[in-house]
């Protein structure tokens, strides 16, 4: 999902975990899965949170080949709330971070890669919300390729409250890459369920809209606010 503009309150800790499976069959039949996608969020100031995240363990299998399993790179970032929503002026935040080359040989970017994005969120009445992201990144391309490719990415997620505890969302995202690398577009959607006041579950599924994107992706996750003042 697109990142929302809110930050966790000062003195609050939240952990988000999940897993995903995707398949690409246009050129090579490759299946990829990952878990546990940890994201630790800690509110350090009234308007800022500190974030530590990773994809986690990544497994991939090309048809006719053995499965490869390896750990991912680690990301450290911060999100700062700039202002809240005022009528049609959205709640707005800025997120900036750095990726560290801690992952295995097959998946690491093999570089220290900066990224950042501007986040805008609207509450549209009592039931609907809209989150939009516009970001830039500059990842290196791995152990065998030291080039840095600049990326521009955007996402928009429309959410709707179905009941007091259940919600649904529909999201579009796109990544535009330089140096002749392929662009990607995808559409996905899913449901959220507030299990308790501090625990939320989600499931999602989506499909690529061009050849460079995976044919389909399915995933599930949990967010747990384990520490609050």
Q: What are the residue boundaries of the structural domains of the chain, listed by start?
A: 13-224
The three-class DSSP label of residue 182 is coil
Q: Are 96 and 75 in contact (CB under 8 A)?
A: no
Which pLDDT band holds residue 180 (cuts at 50, 70, 90)?
A: confident
Residues facing 145 on adjacent strands = none
Per-residue pLDDT tens for 72-92? 999 999 999 999 999 899 999
Long-range contacts of 196-200 (CB under 8 A, 24+ apart): 198/224, 198/225, 198/226, 198/228, 199/223, 199/224, 199/225
User: Quick check: 10 pLDDT over 90?
Assistant: yes
DSSP secondary structure code for residue 141 in this structure? -
Q: Which two tokens stand for residue 150?
A: 């600049």
Instruction: Give residues with Cβ within 8 angstroms of 139, minimum separation 6.
Output: 99, 109, 111, 113, 115, 148, 149, 151
Question: Can you tell me the mean pLDDT for 87-115?
Answer: 95
Question: Can you tell me the mean pLDDT for 105-122?
Answer: 95
Per-residue pLDDT tens for 45-54? 999 999 999 9
Q: What is the pTM of this model?
A: 0.93
Q: Are 214 and 202 in contact (CB under 8 A)?
A: no
**Could you tell me which CATH number the domain at 13-224 has?**
2.40.160.40
40, containing H or E segment: strand 39-45
């Amino acid at each position: 999902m697109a990142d929302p503009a809110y930050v966790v309150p000062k003195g609050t800790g939240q952990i988000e975990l999940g897993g995903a499976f995707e398949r690409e069959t246009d050129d090579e039949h490759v299946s990829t899965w990952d878990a546990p996608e940890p994201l630790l969020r800690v509110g350090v100031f009234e308007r800022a949170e500190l974030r530590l995240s990773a994809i986690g363990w990544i497994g991939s299998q090309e048809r006719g080949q053995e499965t490869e399993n390896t750990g991912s790179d680690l990301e450290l970032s911060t999100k700062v709330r700039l202002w809240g929503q005022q009528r049609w002026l959205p709640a707005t935040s800025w997120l900036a971070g750095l990726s560290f080359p801690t992952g295995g040989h097959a998946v690491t970017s093999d570089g220290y890669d900066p990224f950042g994005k501007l986040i805008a969120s609207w509450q549209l009445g009592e039931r609907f919300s809209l989150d939009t992201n516009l970001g830039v990144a500059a990842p290196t391309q791995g152990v065998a390729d030291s080039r840095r490719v600049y990326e521009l990415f955007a996402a928009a997620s429309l959410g709707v409250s179905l009941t007091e505890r259940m919600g649904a969302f529909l999201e579009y995202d796109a990544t535009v890459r330089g140096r002749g690398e392929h662009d990607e577009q995808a559409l996905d959607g899913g449901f959220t369920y507030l299990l308790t006041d501090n625990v939320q579950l989600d499931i999602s599924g989506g499909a690529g809209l061009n050849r460079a994107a995976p044919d389909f992706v399915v995933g599930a996750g949990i967010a747990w606010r384990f520490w609050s003042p």
